[in-house]
Amino acid sequence: MRWLEARLAGGQDLVGPEVLHDWVEQARSKFDGATVTDFVPVLVEREVRRRLRATRGEVDLVAWARETAQRLLATGLPRRWAHTQGVARQAVAVAPALPPRDRPVLVASAWLHDIGYAAELAETGMHQLDGAAFLLRQGIPRRICALVAHHAGASAVAELIGLSGRLAGYADERTAVRDALWYCDMTTSPDGEPVSFAKRMAELRARRGPDDPVVRALAANEKERAAAVRRTEKLLAAAAA
C-alpha cells in the first residue's frame, strides 16, 4: 500500500505521513478476510479520502472560529482578544489529551467562547448566550454553540438574572471537552497569560466587584469550576504519564 500512501500524500497537506500510514492500515485491515482483493485498494483509498475531507472541515472550522473572534474582538475589545488568544493557546496544548474527534471542537470553542462580549452581538447582556445565539445563526455545530453557552458556570449566572429558560435551550454536555474549555478559560488571565485558578478567581472578584452577577454566582459555581479544572489537570497528567 506504499504506492497508495504516496498518491494520497501528494494531494493534501492536512496530516503527516505517519497518520496517513495509520489510516491506510486501518482501512486495509477491514478487508483482511476478503476472498476477492482486486477492489481493496480502491475501497481503502475511498475511506482515507473520506477521513481527509472530514479533517479539512475541522481545520476550516477552527480557522473560521479564529478569524471570527478576531473580527469581533480585536479592535473594540483588545484585552478580551488578548484573553481569547491565551485561552486558544491553552486549548491547543490541552487538545492532544482528548480523542482526535474532540480536539477541533475544543480549539474552536476556545476561540469563540467570549465573542458574546462584542457590542454587535449584545442581545441579552449575558455573553455566553449572546455568543451561542450568534453561532447558531451562522450554522455552527450545535455542540460548539452549547459549549460556548455553558462555559464558566453560566447556569448559576443565568439563574440570577432570569435567563435560565434561554440557557436551557442548549445542552450542557458535562464531558472532558467541557471541562477542558473551562480549564483553559479559568487558567488564563484577562491579558492572555497562564495563571492559577485561585489567582484567576481573585482577579475576577477584584475586577468585577461583589455586586456583579458573575461574582455573586461564584457562591453556586466556584466549586464546579474548580472541579472542572482538577479533572482536566488529572487528564493532562495521565496523558503525560
CA distance 99 to 176: 10
CA distance 127 to 141: 18
Residue 194, phi then psi, degrees to nearest 5 = -60, 140
**Residue 103, C-beta contacts closer than 8 angstroms, at least 6 positions apart:** 58, 95, 96
pLDDT digits (tens, 9 = 90+) for 41-67: 888 888 888 877 776 667 688 989 999
Identify the residue with better confidence: 214 or 2.
Answer: 214
Query: 129 pLDDT band (50/70/90 cuts)?
Result: very high
pTM (2 d.p.)? 0.79
The answer to whether the beta carbons of residues 24 and 8 sit under 8 Å apart is: yes
Copy the grid coordinates of residue 236. 493532562
pLDDT at 179: 98
CA distance 189 to 199: 9
pLDDT at 200: 97
pLDDT at 99: 92
Residue 138, phi then psi, degrees to nearest 5 = -85, -5
CA distance 17 to 177: 27
Q: Give the position of cell 493532562.
A: 236
pLDDT digits (tens, 9 = 90+) for 192-221: 999 999 999 999 999 999 999 999 999 999
pLDDT at 10: 76
Q: Give the position of cell 477552527.
A: 62
